[in-house]
Structures are given as C-alpha cells and as structure tokens.
Structure 1
Amino acid sequence: MATMTHDTAVQRRLRSGLICAVVSASSFGLSGPLARGLMNAGWSAASVVAVRVLVAAVVLVPIALIQLRGDWQLLRRNASLIAVYGLVAVAGTQLAYFNAVSYMPVGVALLIEFTAPIAVVGWLWLRHDQRPTGATVAGAMLGITGLVLVIDLRSGLSASWVGMAWALATVVGAAAYFILSAHGDGTLPGTVLAAGGLLIGGLGLLAAGAAGIVPLHATTNPVVFQDFTTSWWLPVLLLGVVTAALSYVTGIAASRLLGSRLASFTGLLEVLAALTFAWALLGETPHPIQLLGGALILTGVIAVRRGETTTD
C-alpha cells in the first residue's frame, strides 16, 4: 500500500510538473514573435526585454508580498539566491544573447544557448553525482538533433571567437535558470523568487543600457503582425504578464517538481512553441524539416521523462 501511494504521488508530481513546464515553455515561445513586432516598430531588443521583465515584476511583487506575510527574515536568508537568479539567469542571459547575435547568426546563437540541458546534466553529474540514465542520454541526443533541424541555420555557421564566448555565456545563464529555479530550502515561494529576480534583472538591464552596454530605445508606433495591427501597449502587456510573469513562475514550479534536469529538457519545447507562434503572428511558415525537428524534440523529452522516472 505504501509503495502504491508513493508511486501515485510521484506520478501526480510528474504530471503537475510537466503541465507547468509546457505552460512555461509555450509562454516563453510567444515572447519572440511579440518582440519581433515591437522591434519592427522601432524598439531595441534590450528595451523590449527590460520592459518585459519590469512589467512582470510589477505584476508579481504584490503577490510576492502577500505570500511573504511580513517574513523579511525569509527574504534576507534567500537574498543571495534571488540576486544571482536576477543577475545571472534573467539579466545575464539576455545581455549575453544580445551580444552574441551581434557577432553571429541568430540561429547559431540559439542553437548554442539551447544546449543548456547538457550543461545541467553535466553539473548534476559532477557536483551531485547524479549520473544520467541511458534513456536520458538518448533523449538528449534526440532533443538536440531536433533542435538543429528546427532552428534555421541557413545563414551559415560563421562566428567570431568573441561571439562564441558570448553564446557560451548564454548556456551558463540558461543552465543557471533551471538549477537555481529548483534550488531553495523549501520555504521560499516560487513567486517571491520570480518577482525578486525579475525586478533585479530588469534594473540590471536598465543599468547596462545607461552604461552603453546595450542600446535602449522605444517608440509608440503601431505594431504590425500578419493579420492585424495593434497599439504598442498590448504586446508590451502580453510580454510582461504572459511571457515573463507566467513563464517564470511556472518555470520555477516545473523545476521544483521535476528537478532541473527534466525541466531543462522540457524547456526545449520553447523552440517548437516559438515556431508555432511565428507561423500564426508573423506568417513564417515552418518547413517540413522543422516539423520533423519538432517531432524529435517531443520524442526526446518523452525519453528523458522515462529516464528520470526510473531514478525515482
């Protein structure tokens, strides 16, 4: 009876975690097409991200304050975690990505960034002696192969050493996102971690813009998508509430329920979601090879899930 209860609890935890992971990846995937619309209207990439994370912080901070219930000691005990999460997982990853794409094709930079699950596996193996199973390794190979097919690399593989260094920094930031999201003493609510990290990350991006590290400029021009035109504030609101606030909260929940390894591989679905939203909003029809890549990503995630289940 105890074994059956344990198995049921594990399955329920996996199911809830996968739902959160899919919601997070899908929400993150919407950010690219929405951001492209704003950038076509005259916004800089850094401005889009800074506004996105700060709007999310405004949405989440009141909820975080309610969850804290005045327990400022809890906030102080986790101050370093929140600060590192905001500066590395949020702001650092974005800054590294912006600099990477200034030296190399976008597709190449994305491909390098989304090898982060392999970095997560390596970290857990070396640091915590969590050796990956055969199913996890096979799923990783399928997922990365699918990623290569989904991401458009027709612009070429040429890149400078400086660009490669920035791209590798995005891998560190993305891996840190999953590892730190799963971290904590069990008492820090995920919303508090997300709100604090987004606020610190957004302020960090504004500081980087003020220092001239990234360009910050925005307009109030109408934003044009495939079948409609809208005011600038609607994409900004969606970016902040859906693609940041919702994405980070559900992403933290997924990492805590699934563990950083499985959550990071499920995060590959973000690329598939971005492809779908780009098709709907920007008219960028996917090629058959990209659809095959999406199928391989899904197969890889399922394989990793089976591998993680066998370790419970």
Structure 2
Amino acid sequence: MPVHMSQGSQGERGRGVGLGLALVSAVAFGGSGVAAKPLIQAGLDPLHVVWLRATGAALVMLPLAVRHRGLVRSRPALLAGFGLLGVAGVQACYFAALSRIPVGVALLIEYLAPALVLGWVRFVQRRPVTRAAAVGVVLAVGGLACVVEVWSGLSFDVLGLLLALGAACCQVGYFVLADQGSEAGDRAPDPLGVIAYGLLVGAALLTVVARPWTLDWSVLGGSAAMNGTSVPAVALLAWVVLIATVLAYVTGVLSVRRLSPQVAGVVACLEAVIATVLAWVLLGEHLSMPQLIGGAVVLLGAFTAQSSAPAKTSAEPVAAGDGTGRELSSRSASA
C-alpha cells in the first residue's frame, strides 16, 4: 500500500510539473505576436520576422541537431514535414495574418486546427474519439470565440482571415503527416531532435521565400513603439527567438511527456487568452465582458480534457491533438 501511495504521489507531481510546463509554453507562445507586431509596424516585412525567428532559434538548437543527426536518415519525411508545415508554413501565415488583423482573431482561427483534426479523424478516418476530449475542444474553441469576439471578424481584412486559416491548415497538414509517418512498433524519434531539425529545414525554406538579403537591418538597430513606449527592436527580436520559440517549443515538448497529448493540446489553447491579455496590457487592447467570460470557458474546456480517460478498446479512441505523432504535442506545430 505505501508503494502505491508513493507511485501515486510521484504521478501527481509529474502531472503538476507537466501542467506547469504547458502553461509556461502557452505564455511563451502567447507573447510572440505581441513582440512581433511592433517589429512589423516598425518596417520589417512579416516574412523577414519569421525568417529571423526560425533562423535564430535554429542556431540555438543546433547542438541538439548534431546530437540527433541520425534522424536525417531514419525520419527524413517527418523532419521535412515539420519544417515545411510546423515551422515555415504556420509561422509565415500567422505573422502575415497578424500584420492585417488583431492578434487574438488570428490565433482563434489558427487554433481551429485541433478541432479540424478531430473532425478529420472522426469523419474521414472513421475512428472513435473520446467524448471528454471532444467536449473539451468544443468548449475551448467556443471560449476562444468569445475571447476574440469573433462575431466582429467579418469586418476584418479578408486576406488576413485567409492567411490565418492557412496557418490552421498548415497545422492540420502536419498533424496528419506525423500521424501517418508513425508506424506501430517503431521507436518514437526524440521530439527535441525533430524540433531542432524542423527549425533548420524551416529556416532554409524561409531563406528562399523571404529573401533575407533584402531585409532592412537598420530597423533592428532602432526602436519599435509598443503602446506609445519605445522598445529596442533587438530586445523584441530576442524575446521572439529565445522565449517565444526556443523556450516555448522545449517546454511544450517536455509537458507532453508528462501529460496526454490531448491535455497538452487543449491547455495550449490558453495561448490565445494569454496573448489577448498581453495585448491588453502591452498594446492597450482592452478586454470586454464577453472576452472575460470566454477566458473562463477556455479554462473549463482545458479542465474537461484533463479529466478524460481514453477507453481501452480494440479501436483506441483518439483524443484531440493526438494526430501529432506519438511523442510530439500538438503545440509543437504552433506558431
């Protein structure tokens, strides 16, 4: 009996650490748009900001890429898919979208991806899903709709909305690719190695698309306006690279090792709430009562997903975000 109590205590601690890491990841990712938007408004092209983000993070993660160089031979398709969709596609579409529409609306549309994956698994693959995971995703998406007041979305820039939808589609494409590339019995690749190589592949692809040789480097030597406050542009870039990319990805991956993929995925939906709060504090975008209520609904959705327990049947139910691959959390493909 004492042994079981000890194991249970360790499990609770591990779950607590996992939730803490997931929240750190959500906060880190949530700050990317708030830091990137002033850089874009200061004169940097959105694609140049994405290239700086991916390239800077790839250089920081380079030692991990060297350590896991065997992945190049064993999982080339997974690395290419992560780099193309999870890094280059999602980030380019998201940053281009937030240059035209509010940060919160862009995130809401991007975070339709877990729900789209759930629908794809249920209605296209015809595989069962856990009821709690489905309810949790529905509540989270509904809450996010209130947080960003999506009923005002039709008044926003149409191209911006389409770019945000492109970010969601890139997430879905990566989820499907990773799921199809994971064969039963295969040893799961180290997710930190996948992230490192994904950033390298994404940076290489973005180099061709963004053409960084046309980048106005003088902008980084100046300052950017954040709600009337002058902030060094290089400090904002450092936040985007070190906090909103490296720290966010690493804590997201470590959290999924202690939580189920659906829990990490739905907790990651708090990113939109956090981003909206940061935009309120740092950019002067005030929250309304519907937005506050929406934030509470998102928390309820996260709690509902956390309480889910997949049924042990021959057709194993799939939880929201479970199409990311065995060891990769749905958050690993987010901007």
- With normalisation by structure 1, the TM-score equals 0.81
Identical positions, percent: 33
Aligned match of 1:129: 127
What residue is the counterpart of 1:111 in the other structure? 108
Mind listing any 5+ residue stretches in structure 1 that lack a counterpart?
A: none
Q: Is residue 51–residue 207 contact of structure 2 (8 Å, CA) maintained in 1? A: yes
SS at match of 1:285: coil
Structure 2, gaps ≥5 residues long:
313-335
**1:41 alignment partner in structure 2:** 42
Instruction: Give 1:262's aligned residue.
Output: 263
Asked whether the 8 Å contact 1:121–1:261 carries over to 2, the reply is no
Residues 96 and 167, structure 1, Cα contact 8 Å, conserved in 2? yes
Contact 1:23-1:247 within 8 A present in 2 as well: yes
Contact (CA 8 Å) 2:108, 2:272: kept in 1 or not? no
- Post-superposition shift, 1:163? 6.9
TM-score using structure 2 length: 0.76
CA drift of 1:231 comes to 2.1
* Contact in 2 for aligned 1:178/1:260 (Cα 8 Å): no
Give me the whole-angstrom Cα distance separating, in 2, the residues matched to 1:105 and 1:38: 15
How many residues in Structure 1 have an aligned counterpart in Structure 2? 303
Rounded to whole Å, the distance in 2 between the matches of 1:9 and 1:87 is: 38
Residue 272 of structure 1 aligns with an amino acid whose one-letter code is V
User: What CA distance in whole angstroms lies between the structure 2 residues aligned with 1:109 and 1:232?
Assistant: 23
Q: 1:44 to 1:102 in 2, by over 3 A?
A: closer
What amino acid is the match of 1:241?
Answer: L
> Does the 8 A contact of 1:34 with 1:235 survive in 2?
yes
Deviation at 1:50? 1.3
Q: Structure 1 residues 25-34 or 254-263, which shifts more?
A: 254-263
User: The residue matched to 1:224 in structure 2 has which SS?
Assistant: strand
Return the alpha-carbon distance in structure 2 between the equivalents of residues 167 and 205 of structure 1.
18
Q: 1:26-72 deviations in whole A, cap 9, x for unaligned?
A: 1000111111221222112221121112111111112443x43xxx4
Alignment of 1:35-184 (within 5 A): 35-65=36-66, 67-68=67-68, 72-97=69-94, 108-125=105-122, 127=125, 129-133=127-131, 135-153=132-150, 155-157=152-154, 166-175=163-172
Looking at structure 1, the residues matched to 286 and 243 of structure 2 have their Cα atoms a distance apart, in angstroms, of 24
- Distance in 2 between the 1:280 and 1:84 partners? 36
Aligned-residue RMSD, C-alpha = 3.5
Structure 2 CA distance for partners of 1:175 and 1:137, relative to 1, 3 Å:
same
Q: Which range moves more in the overlay, 72-81 or 2-11?
A: 2-11
Q: Distance in 2 between matches of 1:36 and 1:13?
A: 36
Corresponding residue for 2:198? 197
